[in-house]
Structure 1
Amino acid sequence: MTAPLSGMTGFARAEGALGAWHWVWEGRSVNGRGLEARFRLPPGHEALEPALRDAAKSVFSRGNIQFSLTLKRDENAQSVQIDTDKLAAIVEAGRPLVEAGTVAPPTLDGLLAIKGVLKSDDDDLREDERTALHTAMGTSFSTAADTLVAARREEGAALAAILADILAEIETLTAKAASSAATRPEAIRDRLKARLDELLGGEFPEERLAQEIAMLASKADVREEIDRLKAHIASARDLLAAGSPVGRKLDFLSQEFNREANTLCSKSGDSELTTIGLALKAAVEQFREQVQNVE
Structure 2
Amino acid sequence: MAVYSMTGFGSASAAAAAPAETAPAASTAGAAATVELRSVNGRFLDLALRLPDELRGLEPALRELVGQVFKRGKIELRVATQRDADGALPQPQAEQLMRLAQLESTVQSWLPNARPFSTSEVLNWCRGGAGTERLDDAVMQAARTAVEALREARGREGARLVTILLERIARLRELAAQAVPLVPQVVQRQQQRFLERWHEALANAGAASTVKPEALQERALNEAAAYALRIDVAEELSRLSAHLDEIERLLGAGGELGKRLDFLIQELHREANTLGSKSSALELTNVSVEMKVAIEQMREQVQNIE
TM-score where L is the length of structure 2: 0.74
| 1:119 partner letter | N
Q: How far has the Cα of 1:215 moved from its partner?
A: 4.5
Q: How far has the Cα of 1:170 moved from its partner?
A: 0.7
Q: 1:192 to 1:281 in 2, by over 3 A?
A: farther
Residue aligning to 1:8: 6
Alpha-carbon displacement from aligned partner over 1:201-220 (angstroms, at most 9, x marks no partner): 36999899877655443221
Residue aligning to 1:40: 50
Distance 2:304 2:46 in 1: 15
Q: Secondary structure at the match of 1:120?
A: helix
Alpha-carbon displacement from aligned partner over 1:188-227 (angstroms, at most 9, x marks no partner): 3762673486279369998998776554432211110000
Residue aligning to 2:61: 51
1:25 equivalent to 2:35? Answer yes
1:147 equivalent to 2:146? Answer no
| 1:188 partner letter | V
Residue aligning to 2:242: 231
Residue aligning to 2:292: 281
Q: 1:60 to 1:192 in 2, by over 3 A?
A: farther
Q: Secondary structure at the match of 1:44?
A: helix
Residue aligning to 1:201: 201
Distance 1:33 1:196 in 2: 57
Tell me if structure 2 keeps the 8 A contact 1:261–1:277: yes
Residue aligning to 1:102: none
Q: 1:178 to 1:122 in 2, by over 3 A?
A: farther
Distance 1:117 1:175 in 2: 79
1:188 equivalent to 2:159? Answer no
Alpha-carbon displacement from aligned partner over 1:78-119 (angstroms, at most 9, x marks no partner): 449999779xx9x99xxxxxxxxxxxxxxx9xxx7xxx8973
Tell me if structure 1 keeps the 8 A contact 2:33–2:135: no
Alpha-carbon displacement from aligned partner over 1:50-92 (angstroms, at most 9, x marks no partner): 1111111111122111111111349464449999779xx9x99
1:265 equivalent to 2:276? Answer yes
| Pair member with larger Rg | 2
1:294 equivalent to 2:296? Answer no
Distance 2:237 2:13 in 1: 54
Residue aligning to 2:81: 71
Q: How far has the Cα of 1:167 moved from its partner?
A: 0.8
Distance 1:154 1:140 in 2: 21
Could you tell me which runs of 5 or more consecutive residues in structure 2 were left unpaired when the two chains were aligned: 19-28
Query: What is the count of residue pairs matched by the alignment?
Result: 263
Q: 1:248 to 1:272 in 2, by over 3 A?
A: same
Within a 5 Å distance, the mapping from 1:103-142 to structure 2 comes to: 119-125=124-130, 129-142=131-144
Residue aligning to 2:158: 156
Tell me if structure 1 keeps the 8 A contact 2:194–2:220: no
Distance 1:46 1:284 in 2: 45
Q: 1:67 to 1:191 in 2, by over 3 A?
A: same
Tell me if structure 1 keeps the 8 A contact 2:236–2:275: yes
Distance 2:187 2:146 in 1: 61
Tell me if structure 2 keeps the 8 A contact 1:12–1:151: yes
Q: How far has the Cα of 1:138 moved from its partner?
A: 1.1
| 1:51 partner letter | A
Q: How far has the Cα of 1:135 moved from its partner?
A: 3.1
1:168 equivalent to 2:174? Answer no
Q: 1:218 aligns with which of 220, 229, 241?
A: 229
Q: 1:289 to 1:76 in 2, by over 3 A?
A: closer
User: What is the alpha-carbon root mean square deviation over aligned residues?
Assistant: 3.5
Could you tell me which runs of 5 or more consecutive residues in structure 1 were left unpaired when the two chains were aligned: 93-107
Q: Secondary structure at the match of 2:180?
A: helix
TM-score where L is the length of structure 1: 0.76
Q: Secondary structure at the match of 1:11?
A: strand
